[in-house]
Chain A
Amino acid sequence: SQTIHQWPATLVQPVGSPLSLECTVEGTSNPNLYWYRQAAGRGLQLLFYSVGIGQISSEVPQNLSASRPQDRQFILSSKKLLLSDSGFYLCAWRREMGQPQHFGDGTRLSIL
């Protein structure tokens, strides 16, 4: 069966510090991968998606970036965090178009 791992579960970072969140998927190959952010009480905001190694599509221009160095690894990064980057970050995967997405447990990021 397939599983998705996302870490860390919580993170507290000062403004201006760098960020690296990692997500890995097990039990499948060439998944579609997604990063979302969810502000408190709000819906899901799609940040990035990837349909293959090294391929990244950005949905929202901001100080975040994403990379997919391996087939089942998806990384979200920032060189310098802003207060507005606080939120609940979710990684998700799906097998192919038309199939449902499956979410990791998420990372709750607080910026001080």
Chain B
Amino acid sequence: QKEVEQNSGPLSVPEGAIASLNCTYSDRGSQSFFWYRQYSGKSPELIMFIYSNGDKEDGRFTAQLNKASQYVSLLIRDSQPSDSATYLCAVDTGGFKTIFGAGTRLFVKA
């Protein structure tokens, strides 16, 4: 059974701090990795994707991938109250399905 594991949280950080969200996956052959943000009552929205080992930066967001450790993370710099949401890690293992983690709830305190 291919799995994606995330800490459910909630993760609470003060405004302006760095939020660090982590995810591990079980299928060593996984090739594509995605982060989605889901506000309460809304559908998931893609915010980052990464295919290669290392870091990928987009504005305040940085995705980090370590295939040897089967670990992917999302850093949010200068966290804002508007970043409060559930963050879903998703992994494409090369088949027709994408495996989603259950999500980590993030609260950014003003």
Interface residues of A, Cβ cutoff 8 Å to B: 32, 42-44, 46, 49, 51, 57, 90, 94, 97-106, 108
Q: How far is the CA of A101 from the CA of B38 in the complex (A)?
A: 14
**Which residues of the partner chain A approach B100 to less than 8 Å between Cβ atoms?**
43-44
Q: How far is the CA of A108 from the CA of B42 in the complex (A)?
A: 10
Interface centre among B31, B49, B97, B101 (most CB of A within 10 A): B97
Q: Is B17 an interface residue (CB 8 A)?
A: no
Chain B residue, CB-CB nearest to A90: B43
Which parts of B42-94 form the interface with A (CB within 8 Å)?
42-46, 49, 51, 88, 90, 92, 94
Cβ B96 vs Cβ A51 within 8 A? yes
Interface centre among A42, A49, A97 (most CB of B within 10 A): A97
**Which residues of the partner chain B approach A49 to less than 8 Å between Cβ atoms?**
96-97
Subset of 6 A-B contacts with CB under 8 Å: A42-B102, A44-B44, A100-B49, A103-B44, A106-B42, A108-B41
Q: Is B32 an interface residue (CB 8 A)?
A: yes
| A43-B100, A43-B101 given; A106·B43 CB < 8 A | yes
**Which residues of the partner chain B approach A57 to less than 8 Å between Cβ atoms?**
96
Given A98-B51, A100-B32, 9 other A-B residues pairs in contact with their CB atoms under 8 A: A44-B44, A49-B96, A49-B97, A51-B96, A97-B94, A100-B98, A101-B90, A103-B43, A104-B43
Interface residue SS majority, chain B: loop
For the complex, count residues of B whose C-beta is within 8 A of A: 23
| A44-B88, A105-B43 given; A98·B97 CB < 8 A | no
**Which residues of the partner chain A approach B88 to less than 8 Å between Cβ atoms?**
43-44
Chain A residue, CB-CB nearest to B45: A103
| A97-B92, A99-B32, A100-B34 given; A46·B97 CB < 8 A | yes
Q: Is B95 an interface residue (CB 8 A)?
A: yes
**Which residues of the partner chain B approach A100 to less than 8 Å between Cβ atoms?**
32, 34, 46, 49, 90, 98
The listed residue (B95, B98, B103) touching A101 by CB distance below 8 A is B98
